[in-house]
Chain A
Amino acid sequence: MRQRVSPGLLAMLPVMALILVGFALPILLVLLYSLMPPRTFSLAGEPTLANYWAAVTEGYLLPLGWSLLLAGLTTLLCLVLAWPTAKALVRFAGRFATLATILIALPIFISESVRLFGTALFMMPGGGIFAGSLNALFGLKIGSILYTRTATLLGMVYIHFPFMLFPMVLGLSLVPQDQIEAACDLGARPFQVFREIELPLALPGITVGTLLTFVLSLGANAEAAILGGQAVIVITKAIEQRFGYAQDWPSGAALTVLVILVTAAVIFPVLRRLDLDRLIRR
């Protein structure tokens, strides 16, 4: 062995192996299965596009549409909710910011299903924590949003909020206070300060948060299952059914590839314009 291997390449080997085995290989398998004849379990069949045709014609566009809609709405709501929260954390909270950050981050360490079941208990009609307490304390009887699309959306916002908030906090902390003051001094109204200074300077953080939230929301199914009941079927649920209950792996694989393609179509144009270096350098 006379040839010298660069240390950088050597250091990359473990993670490259992991990505190859843990990420690229499964995707390749899924891709191959999606081209196999329906309801077969072998990779040796005649390649066909029948599964894709079936995915488009047999009503799977609806769950995909629901997933996209819910992910989009979740991202939008998280954006709107996270901005004032992030501003408060960065600008005004001082020592309280650390405590608030911990309080917001802590639930991430608890299993998502446990938190969603907690939320479900809270929303339960009549006997639930919220409705039950109102009834017991004030004699108020209210309905429940449990097992509706609204509950699903609220659950998704609740679960994914930190993934929007923390990148946004990071982005917003890149905005120098003196530039905000200078803009004010030069006559900018609060909205103009937002548009001219805060938004462009915090954009890398906002973009990362938006991508994280959208991608995670698109892949989410626990919220729909636990809080949504049968109100909405999301695409991940449909895929699970194809692989499990229906025992039709090629069909499930085709749906998976469709979701990957749609996700990529949303993300790559954004990623190309994102300067991640700027976020990391400071």
Chain B
Amino acid sequence: MTTSGPILSLVGLTRRFGEIAAVDDIDLEILDGEFFTIVGPSGSGKSTLIRILAGLERVDSGAVLLRGRAITDVPANKRPTAMVFQSLALFNHKTVGENIEFAPKMRGVDPAARRARALELMDLVRLPEAYYARPVTRCSGGERQRVALARALASDPEILFFDEPLSAIDYRLRKMLEVELKDLHRETGKTFIYITHSLEEAMVMSDRIGIMRAGRLVQIGPPLEIYQQPRSRFVAEFMGEVNVLRASEFGVAGEGWLVVRPEQLRPLAPGEAADVVFEARIVNDYLLGSRKQFHARADERMLIGEIAVAAASVPGPGEPVRLGFDLGDAVRVAE
């Protein structure tokens, strides 16, 4: 990853639909060569945001700067960016080759050079050369993903946008394509801006992640930081299943919440102490490969814990258990 200042700056970006601000006063700097992922639930405005950056959606106020130059009003076809759409938006009346060569053709590159570039890109995204003359309608889901990717790369963009392109792909193929995308990012050195509702997907690929909620970026940081130090209940809960406890109930001064990850809530051996202890009863347990997750009830409270299968035995459903965590492991969030 090369980091030499921001390639893209968003300043007070706002886009309203009626009363609702889909994008609400967003400030953000994206570094050159970075893999930046915007994660948010559906309706958080992330698609609108990326469409604004691509030039497919207008803004109500604010500015988009590319290397310090305002491009807010530059139409999509004049921006040095390319998008991989959620629907992929392949040109179904064209062949794989014609799809990939679309951008060079629009720029008037001669056919021989276009073809050479297309074959080069097909090799890069691991599409066999024989696919060149094949109609895209005869390609499988994964192959179509690769065509869309090669087509976007063929315009030689400074920034590539991805609008949830993997959301409709089955799990195994998605995992494979995630890794390939990360490799591709490293190989091309281009700036990738990726949108997804899956934090898991974001974690695998990103240099930095921005969590979006109701048109705002509520936290920005490297994946590990977001995982370990969520700044709000929303971020913590978005990261996966966590225990959120009111801080004041556990002798912690002030307002706010304690976020306790499942792996930090451990079954206690008889006589073992912890800062906070629950007398609970196991409700259910699930095997997650090498780890086991369990749900337990302590009075009216539902708790979720996780433990390595090899490490210790957890009582089965219906049996009592002592669970505990240390306050030093919990993350304190204000809201």
B-contacting residues of A (Cβ < 8 Å)? 176, 178-179, 181-189, 192, 196-197, 200-201
Does B103 reach chain A (CB closer than 8 Å)? yes
* A187 / chain B contacts, CB cutoff of 8 Å: 77-78, 103, 106-107, 155
Which of A182, A184, A188, A200 has the largest number of chain B CB atoms within 10 A? A182
Interface pair A181/B85, CB less than 8 Å apart: yes
Q: For chain B residues 89-114, which have a beta carbon within 8 Å of chain A?
A: 89-93, 102-103, 106-107
Does B282 reach chain A (CB closer than 8 Å)? no
Interface pair B102/A185, CB less than 8 Å apart: no
Interface pair A184/B93, CB less than 8 Å apart: no
Interface pair A184/B77, CB less than 8 Å apart: yes
**Interface SS, A side:** helix
Interface pair A179/B75, CB less than 8 Å apart: no
Q: How far is the CB of A202 from chain B (nearest CB, A)?
A: 11
* B323 / chain A contacts, CB cutoff of 8 Å: none
A-contacting residues of B (Cβ < 8 Å)? 54-56, 75-78, 81-83, 85, 87, 89-93, 102-103, 106-107, 151-152, 154-155
A4 CA / B102 CA spacing, docked (Å): 56
* A188 / chain B contacts, CB cutoff of 8 Å: 77, 102, 106
A216 CA / B106 CA spacing, docked (Å): 38
| Also in contact, A183 and B102, with CB within 8 A (given A188-B77, A189-B77, A197-B91) | yes
Interface pair B93/A189, CB less than 8 Å apart: no
Interface pair B56/A181, CB less than 8 Å apart: yes
* A189 / chain B contacts, CB cutoff of 8 Å: 77, 106
Interface pair B85/A178, CB less than 8 Å apart: yes
Interface pair B107/A179, CB less than 8 Å apart: no
User: Which residue of chain A has the shortest Cβ distance to B107 in the bound complex?
Assistant: A187
Interface pair A179/B91, CB less than 8 Å apart: yes
A186 CA / B80 CA spacing, docked (Å): 9
Number of A-B contacts (CB under 8 A): 61
A234 CA / B59 CA spacing, docked (Å): 57
* A196 / chain B contacts, CB cutoff of 8 Å: 91, 102, 106
User: Which residue of chain B has the shortest Cβ distance to A180 in the bound complex?
Assistant: B89
* A184 / chain B contacts, CB cutoff of 8 Å: 55-56, 75-77
Contact pick for B85, options A182, A192, A197, CB 8 Å: A182
Interface pair A186/B103, CB less than 8 Å apart: yes
A178 CA / B106 CA spacing, docked (Å): 18
Interface pair A176/B155, CB less than 8 Å apart: no
* A201 / chain B contacts, CB cutoff of 8 Å: 93
Interface pair B87/A186, CB less than 8 Å apart: no
A196 CA / B93 CA spacing, docked (Å): 10
Contact pick for A185, options B82, B87, B91, CB 8 Å: B82
Interface pair A186/B85, CB less than 8 Å apart: no
* B102 / chain A contacts, CB cutoff of 8 Å: 183, 186, 188, 196
| Also in contact, A200 and B93, with CB within 8 A (given A184-B77, A185-B76, A189-B106) | yes
Q: How far is the CB of B326 from chain A (nearest CB, A)?
A: 51
Interface pair A192/B106, CB less than 8 Å apart: yes
* A183 / chain B contacts, CB cutoff of 8 Å: 91, 102, 106
CB-CB nearest 3 A-B residue pairs:
A182-B89, A178-B89, A186-B103
Interface pair A182/B83, CB less than 8 Å apart: yes
* B76 / chain A contacts, CB cutoff of 8 Å: 181, 184-185
Interface pair A185/B106, CB less than 8 Å apart: no
Q: How far is the CB of B145 from chain A (nearest CB, A)?
A: 14
User: Which residue of chain A has the shortest Cβ distance to B163 in the bound complex?
Assistant: A178
A179 CA / B93 CA spacing, docked (Å): 11
Q: How far is the CB of B45 from chain A (nearest CB, A)?
A: 18
A179 CA / B151 CA spacing, docked (Å): 13
Interface pair A181/B91, CB less than 8 Å apart: no
A263 CA / B90 CA spacing, docked (Å): 38
User: Which residue of chain A has the shortest Cβ distance to B57 in the bound complex?
Assistant: A181
User: Which residue of chain B has the shortest Cβ distance to A178 in the bound complex?
Assistant: B89
A178 CA / B92 CA spacing, docked (Å): 12
Contact pick for B151, options A178, A181, A186, CB 8 Å: A186
Q: How far is the CB of A178 from chain B (nearest CB, A)?
A: 4
User: Which residue of chain B has the shortest Cβ distance to A179 in the bound complex?
Assistant: B89
* B92 / chain A contacts, CB cutoff of 8 Å: 179
| Also in contact, A185 and B107, with CB within 8 A (given A178-B87, A178-B89, A179-B89) | no
A200 CA / B102 CA spacing, docked (Å): 15
A192 CA / B105 CA spacing, docked (Å): 10
User: Which residue of chain A has the shortest Cβ distance to B92 in the bound complex?
Assistant: A179
Which of A176, A186, A201 has the largest number of chain B CB atoms within 10 A? A186
Give 25 A-B contacts (CB < 8 Å), ordered by A residue.
A176-B87, A176-B89, A178-B85, A178-B89, A179-B90, A179-B92, A181-B76, A181-B85, A181-B89, A182-B85, A184-B55, A184-B75, A184-B76, A184-B77, A185-B54, A185-B55, A186-B102, A186-B106, A187-B78, A187-B103, A187-B107, A187-B155, A188-B102, A188-B106, A189-B106
* B78 / chain A contacts, CB cutoff of 8 Å: 187
Q: How far is the CB of A205 from chain B (nearest CB, A)?
A: 14
